[in-house]
């Protein structure tokens, strides 16, 4: 669609150029499909401009997002855009190499967030996908205020996309871009099952 024009220009003392390179915190929430999918779609754009990308997948899943992971890794390895790093909770966050270590999910989620904080503090990446990161917040495993404060104070320029239902109001408040995905119709309503290639 045509490029929009801002409805007003803020009195923030920034030049247009500065405003164009501000870091973005995006949240994809709601009960519909497409929250993670759109985050990975955003990663394509980030990759194409050469930004380094880190994906942190929270919430264990038997199928994870294998298609997206394969595609993003292939792009990272192509050398034509940004590098891609992929972390999965519980299947060993890559900085935790302790096989057989039966940690509980809350502790795993907290470890993941601690690593993200370290990465943000050191400006390790330019584009972060924190996939399904709202859930450990919703379940009380990770402190929302800590997340919001950390994100508000992160060094530039690091863009962050957070996905999942039940985004906390404080997170929505801190975000620049919030989209709610709403289910209008889903194949499962008609008794259809998830399909390879479509659902994972």
Residues 141-200 that bind a second copy (CB under 8 A): 159, 172, 175-200
Residue 122 in contact with a second copy, rule: CB under 8 A? no
- Only one of the segments 7-15, 91-99, 101-109, 114-122 lies at the binding site for a second copy (rule: CB under 8 A); that segment is 7-15
Sign of CA dihedral 143, 85, 27, 119: positive
Residue 92 in contact with a second copy, rule: CB under 8 A? no
Q: Which of residues 70-89 bind a second copy (CB under 8 A)?
A: 70-72, 74-75, 78, 80-81
Retrieve residue 135's tokens: 């859930």
| Closer residue to a second copy in complex, CB, 47/113 | 47
| Closer residue to a second copy in complex, CB, 168/181 | 181
Query: Which residue of 54, 56, 57, 59 would you call a contact of a second copy, by CB under 8 A?
Result: 59
Taking residue 161's Cβ as centre, other Cβ atoms within 10 Å add up to: 26
The single-letter DSSP state of residue 161 is E
Residue 66 in contact with a second copy, rule: CB under 8 A? yes
Q: Which of residues 32-51 bind a second copy (CB under 8 A)?
A: 32-34, 36-42, 44-49, 51
Q: Tell the smallest beta-carbon distance from residue 5 to a second copy (Å).
A: 8
How many angstroms separate the Cα of 43 from the Cα of each of 22, 58, 93, 117, 188?
17, 17, 20, 20, 28
How many angstroms separate the Cα of 147 from the Cα of each of 11, 25, 56, 64?
27, 12, 14, 24
SS3 assignment, position 97: coil
Cβ proximity of 81 and 50 under 8 Å:
yes
Residue 123 in contact with a second copy, rule: CB under 8 A? no
């Amino acid at each position: 669609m045509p490029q929009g024009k801002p409805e007003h220009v803020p009195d923030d003392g920034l030049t247009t150029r500065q405003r164009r390179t501000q870091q973005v915190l995006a949240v994809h929430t709601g009960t519909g499909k497409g929250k993670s999918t759109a985050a990975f779609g955003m990663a394509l754009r980030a990759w194409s401009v050469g930004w380094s990308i880190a994906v942190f997948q929270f919430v264990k899943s038997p199928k994870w997002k294998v298609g997206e992971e394969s595609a993003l890794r292939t792009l990272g390895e192509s050398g034509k855009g940004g590098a891609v790093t992929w972390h999965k909770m519980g299947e060993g966050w890559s900085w935790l190499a302790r096989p057989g270590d039966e940690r509980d999910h809350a502790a795993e989620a907290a470890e993941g967030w601690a690593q993200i904080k370290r990465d943000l503090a050191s400006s390790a990446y330019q584009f972060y996908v924190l996939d399904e990161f709202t859930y450990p917040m919703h379940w009380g495993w990770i402190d929302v205020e800590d997340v919001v404060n950390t994100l508000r104070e992160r060094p530039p320029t690091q863009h962050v996309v957070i996905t999942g239902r039940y985004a906390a109001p404080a997170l929505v408040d801190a975000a620049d871009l919030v989209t709610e995905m709403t289910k209008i119709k889903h194949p499962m309503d008609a008794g259809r099952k998830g399909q390879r290639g479509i659902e994972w």
